[in-house]
Structure formats: C-alpha cells, structure tokens
Amino acid sequence: MTTLAAFRRTLPRVFAFVLAALPAAAHDFWIEPANFRPAPDARIGVELRVGERLVGDPVPRKAERIARFTCTTRAGVTDVAGIEDQSPAGLLRCTTTGLAWLAYESRPIGIELEAAKFEAYLAEEGLEHVIAARKERGESALPGRERYRRSAKALLAVGEGDRAGFDRVLGLPLELVPAVDPSALRSGAALDLVVLYEGKPLANALVGCRARADVEHETRLRSDAAGRVRFAIAHGGEHLVRVVHMTREPKESGADWLSTWGALGFDVLPALAPKPAPPKPGADGPPVRTASPATDGAGPRAEERAPARQLVEDPRLAGLLAAAATDER
C-alpha cells in the first residue's frame, strides 16, 4: 500500500513532465503567478504550466532544464528561488514596488515526431516556411527531428509604485515586448506588441492572444514587417499571448529544427463602471450613486483584486523566500 500511495503522489508530476516534453500534444507553456497584482512585501508562488486554453498542469522545478528563471524590477535582477522537483517552481517575495518582470528560459530538449504529426503541428502553429523548406529538401515524408525551448515572461504590478519598465527587453530568445503597459489596460483597450527573435523584429509570426474569461476563443494575427501586432482586449483578468518560431539546426546538433515557444502573461483591469445619469429635472430625492468611489481612478475595487493563493507552509521555504527578495544583486 505504501508503494502504491507513493506512486499515486508521484504520477501528477510525472505526467506534467511528460507534457512539457510534447510541444505538439500540449502546445502552451506559461508562467502563472499566484497574483499578478501582489501587495508590497507579499510572498507568492510562481507556477510554470503546460497545457492548452489556459488550462494546464503545473511543471515541477527541474534545475537541469532551467537556463534562466529571474525577476527584474527597477532595483535590478534576481534569480527566482524554488525547491527542486516541487511546484510551484518558483517562490518570490515582492519587496520592490512597481512593475516586475518574471522570465523563464529552458534549455533545449530533443524530440522526434512522425511525419504526418510533425506536418500537422507546423501547419497549426503557422510555420509554413518550415513546411516549404521540408518540401524543397524532399523531407516532407520524413519524421520531424526537433529541439525545442521555452521563452516565457509574465508582468506583475506590485503595489502602487512607478510603472516604468513595461517595455523592458529582457533578452529572451523569443520575446513579446509590449508598447503599452499591459497592467494599466482595461477591457476595451488595445495592446500593441513587438515580436523579437534573438533581439531583432520577427515579421510574419503567427501570434495568439487568449483571455481566461473566454478560454475557447483565441485571436491570432500575423506580425508586420517590423514585428508589430495589435490586439483588441475585450475582457478583464488574466491574458496569455503566445508565439512559436522555428529555425534550421546544424547537423552536429542531432536535430533538423530548433523551435522556440514564446509567451507573455499579464492581467487586465476590469472596465470602469459607467457614471450614473444625471437626475431628471423635477425628480424627487437626491440622485442615487451607482458606482463605488473605489471604482473612480486607476485601481480596481478591492473585491475585484484576485486574492493571493496561500503557500503551503514548509520549513524549507524560510531561507528560500528570504533569498527570493527582489533586491538588486
């Protein structure tokens, strides 16, 4: 019974690790903090997730897979701490107010898919240039030998501090850089982004945007010649923007292609409540205020702020959380 119980406890982590190694079967990979708008000095868990339509399994922390896992604020850059083989993969204490960028980059890992599945995956992700290159080389009927890597980021708004840095380039291999502050957007606004690959604008990339409030719908657009793309934001709450790019690999790599999976997570404020109509002339009694004073201004009402998920107390966390404070290195 003890062995069976241990197996059942281990199975979810094994399943999440297998999903992380199957980009064609479970497309999206993203950073999911416990709260996109934490209070100053709050401690939060930072989960890595793999799945589809913003529904996914947590990916445990694996040091061998991490090329970088950082938090960048106006105070500097720090590594995101965590416990090996555990989820959440990261633990963070938000000591600097303002915007904080979480970034995760994985080391490449190899995978091989049979020809039909590989071609279908390329078509679904808008990688027509790879389909054409395989056809030109006479490789369309051959298995797809690929190395893939993750390149994800998420934006936190800590307290009411300075909102500078929303357009900061973090240097990820494939990066979605906002031209406006995503944390200041309200539903009904537009989000402008630039897609960068190895620091240069990436044209004709297929970029998707999905809101947790409408997970069945994803808006997909192509970036222009300057790598720019604009999305209309129809909902408040968590959003995920994603993009995939694939390049030819040298023979000595053991693969034919390198795919890079980029992601950007952020939280949108709810729409402002409409102002009440002025009372009609001669109406009896004072006008009734329909909007709370808390809805006037930039911040969401207290009841609209997502509560931070509670971290499970663990004696190993004390030192890690102290080390995870986002002070300048």
Q: Does 326 reside within a domain?
A: no
Q: Does 251 reside within a domain?
A: yes
Q: Is 158 exposed, middle or buried (0-12, 13-18, 19+ CB in 10 A)?
A: buried
Give the global pTM.
Answer: 0.79
Q: What percent of the chain stands above pLDDT 70?
A: 77
**The total number of structural domains that make up the chain:** 1
Indicate if the pLDDT at residue 6 is higher than 50: no
* Mean per-residue pLDDT over the chain, rounded: 84
Q: Does 277 reside within a domain?
A: no
- CA–CA distance, 87 with 74 (Å, rounded to integer): 27
Contact criterion met (CB below 8 Å) for 52 and 240: no
Tokens 């329909």 belong to which residue? 290
Q: Does 226 reside within a domain?
A: yes
Q: Does 237 reside within a domain?
A: yes
What's the first-to-final CA gap in the chain, in angstroms?
Answer: 48
310-323 per-position pLDDT tens digit:
444 455 555 555 55
93-146 per-position pLDDT tens digit:
999 999 999 999 999 999 999 999 999 999 999 999 999 999 999 999 999 999
Say if strands 257-268 and 144-158 run parallel, antiparallel, or are unpaired: parallel
Residue 22 pLDDT: 46
275-307 per-position pLDDT tens digit:
777 777 655 555 545 444 444 444 444 334 444
Q: What sign results for the dihedral spanned by CA atoms 222, 226, 231, 232? A: negative
Tokens 């947790």 belong to which residue? 212
Q: Does 314 reside within a domain?
A: no
Structure tokens at 195: 């897609």
Q: Does 313 reside within a domain?
A: no
Q: Does 294 reside within a domain?
A: no
Residue 27 pLDDT: 78
Facing residues of 43 across strands? 93
221-278 per-position pLDDT tens digit:
999 999 999 999 999 999 999 999 999 999 899 999 999 999 999 999 998 877 777 7
Q: What percent of the chain stands above pLDDT 90?
A: 72
Instruction: Give the domain range for residue 130.
Output: 2-268
